[in-house]
Amino acid sequence: MRIIKDKKVLVTGGAGFIGSNLVERLLEQSNKVICLDNFATGKRENIKTFLDNESFTLIEGDIRNLDTCKKACEGVDIVLHQAALGSVPRSINDPITSNDVNVSGFLNMLVAVRDQGVKRMVYAASSSTYGDSKSMPKVEDVIGKPLSPYAITKYVNELYADVFAKTYNMELVGLRYFNVFGRRQDPDGAYAAVIPKFVKSLIQKESPVINGDGSFSRDFTYIDNVIQANQLAAVTNNKEAVNTVYNVAFGERTSLNELMLHLKELLIQFDNDIAKIDVKYGPERKGDVPHSLASIDKAKKMLGYDPQFSIRNGLEQAIEWYWNYFK
């Protein structure tokens, strides 16, 4: 697999879950890495081990400030733009801040990348862009209407990227992430992702709450698959492979009930009593897409994407990290 090596790389949101995993891999591959983060959702503990590395630079700042973005992009070869306010419920509760960060902040980054002459930017798009589309699996060219303010912001990112690529001759690649999970994923926030939330409840012997009847399904995607996709998108020499968007997933669908069974099976190796914990069912969440399954054919064909971790493989890798974190 082609990797990013001996480059100067900016990772926005580099103290977040996905960002910090990208930073770690990039440092291992002899790159100079700049992390831009305002720590609104990123965590200092995620980057603590990098601070003494002479190849690592932290810029504490906000993508809503254009001057900060321009400073962070100075002399950079590649930008991996992960900074955003995630979460559908958060965007429903506070659409203005989600828009400011995800749209205005994204526009600032595009301008900074353009003005500083950065060769390529790979940005985090989202499977939420598929909205109310009923087609399965999800294919990049067929989307529906967005179901949340968050989904709108991520679709607007794609529209801006398309216009900037054509207008300013830039190289931009969007990666539509499907339900990423793995080490360093925040289990404690109000808008925690479902896997760390369920794991936390089970370890603490509390009944996990599933929104709906558990039949809703997702294409859960392990963090190492996402790292692979970012690297391939950043280094491809195929001009036809840039200035477009790709699904980043494993290409399998797992219901929330099936997910719960996986988690219980893996956690009872640490504590047998977890098998006895009952699951509670609550109301469906507003803005939730019922089912999500990605076609990854385009990424395979154009980028050589070859995800190595199914949900089960990924959970086997992540479960010890989760256990140690909560214990």
Q: Cβ distance 260 to 214 under 8 Å?
A: yes
Residue tagged 């992540």 (tokens):
318
Strand segments, DSSP code E, in the chain are 8-12, 32-37, 56-60, 78-81, 120-126, 172-177, 180-181, 209-211, 217-218, 221-222, 244-248, 254-255, 280-282
Active-site residue, from 150, 155, 305, 322:
150
Count of beta carbons in the 10 Å neighbourhood of residue 195: 25
Q: Is 281 a catalytic residue?
A: no
* Burial bucket for residue 26 (CB in 10 Å: 0-12, 13-18, 19+): buried
Q: Cβ distance 178 to 125 under 8 Å?
A: no
**What is the 8-class DSSP label of residue 326?**
H
Residue tagged 């840039």 (tokens):
242
Residues catalogued as catalytic: 150
